Amino acid sequence: MLNEQQKNLIAGDAAGAEAAGFLLPGQQALVHRQGWLKMLAPRAAGGAEMPLPQVVRLEEAIAEADGSMGWVVTLCAGAGWFAGFLPPETAREIISTPDVCLAGSGAPTGFADKEGEGYRIAGRWDIASGAPMATHFTLNAVLRENGQALAGEDGAPRIRAFIVPAAQVVVEPTWRSFGMKGTASHSYRVEGAWVPASSGFTIDPAHATAPGTLYRFPFMLLAWVTLAANLSGLARHFLQLAQETVAARRQPSASAQDAVGQAAVALEGARERMYALLDQAWAQAEGEIGSIAGELDAQLREASMALVLSARRSVGDIYPYCGLRAAQEDSDINRVWRDFHTASQHALFTP
């Protein structure tokens, strides 16, 4: 978890990061000093390979201090998890990069043409959080040979994930959201860069190259719990600021204070359920079977979405009690409100 000094540094730079359009140097230095972007990478590659429940709680705490920083750490550390599916030598080379940071996008909006012992990659991808400090970019691409898309067993185009050094990538400054401005979630393109076959990987426990529990944990379940925790952190921060804002009004309303308290209780209940199921799923993944039962997988996904819905309700219900101060763009509560409503638009949480 975060200590008070770390919380104060992160929170103290939050408004400046929003104004600058990306994390400030002090925030970036803290991220690298703590090794947060390597916490899901294999130990054998130079990562920390931390237990997932510990990582999720840390990411929530960072998001509670500053949404943009929490999101960048979560997404870029998540991309670092892919090192567990790369050839071990390639993984070690990447994770040993000074101030390593992997950013990327999951949409298969480019092509990888087979060429010799590797692939020629071209395309454009959107929404790469942390792009300005990325040393590498991950992407999904449609495989082609002789200009023809290769088909899988189901007849659909074959998709493969790749990792490309930042030197072969052009970042396009396209991020203009009204919140989460400090994530700099820009677009990027690759213009015919050649990469060796060892830069490709498949995100599936059956194709993991690292033996740890982390790499047996389902990718989509990892995405659910880490992103839900970010929204939880943002909602907790909003409720804390709402409590202060309501109390500071000229005529504090007891009903408003009660509403904030009730929203906080509901949110904490949803958090406790998700974390209890996450701990249970991790224990199951660590066990002799080494996998998560389908019923528990479904329960954890449902609990993650229930936490997101609780966070949405708490922020939506309490905002009207906060007065014009919450509508001022230069206020902390407004920034957190905008960050929450931007992060909650992630495709994973939209109908």
How high does pLDDT run on average in the chain? 96
Domain 217-349 has what CATH class? mainly alpha
CATH of domain 102-204: 2.40.110.10
Note the pLDDT of residue 317. 97
Q: What is the pLDDT of residues 189-222, one digit of tens each?
A: 999 999 999 999 999 999 999 999 999 999 999 9
Domain spans of the chain, in order of start: 4-95, 102-204, 217-349
Q: Which two tokens stand for residue 52?
A: 């997932």
- Under CATH, which architecture does the 4-95 domain have? Orthogonal Bundle (1.10)
Note the pLDDT of residue 312. 98
Asked whether the predicted pLDDT for residue 288 surpasses 70, the reply is no
In angstroms, the Cα distances linking 161 to 20, 59, 196, 258, 327 are: 32, 25, 13, 49, 42
Note the pLDDT of residue 50. 98
Q: What is the pLDDT of residues 75-86, one digit of tens each?
A: 999 999 999 999
Q: What is the pLDDT of residues 228-285, one digit of tens each?
A: 999 999 999 999 999 999 998 877 688 889 999 999 999 999 999 999 999 999 999 9
Q: How confident is the model at residue 91 (pLDDT cuts 50, 70, 90)?
A: very high
Residue corresponding to tokens 């770390």: 6
Measured CA to CA, the distance from residue 268 to residue 60 in angstroms comes to 13
Closest by CA position to 47, among listed 78, 23, 2: 78
Note the pLDDT of residue 249. 81
Q: What is the pLDDT of residues 96-148, one digit of tens each?
A: 999 999 999 999 999 999 999 999 999 999 999 999 999 999 999 999 999 99
Cα torsion angle, 321, 323, 325, 328, sign: positive
Q: What is the pLDDT of residues 147-191, one digit of tens each?
A: 999 998 898 999 999 999 999 999 999 999 999 999 999 999 999
Measured CA to CA, the distance from residue 53 to residue 116 in angstroms comes to 42
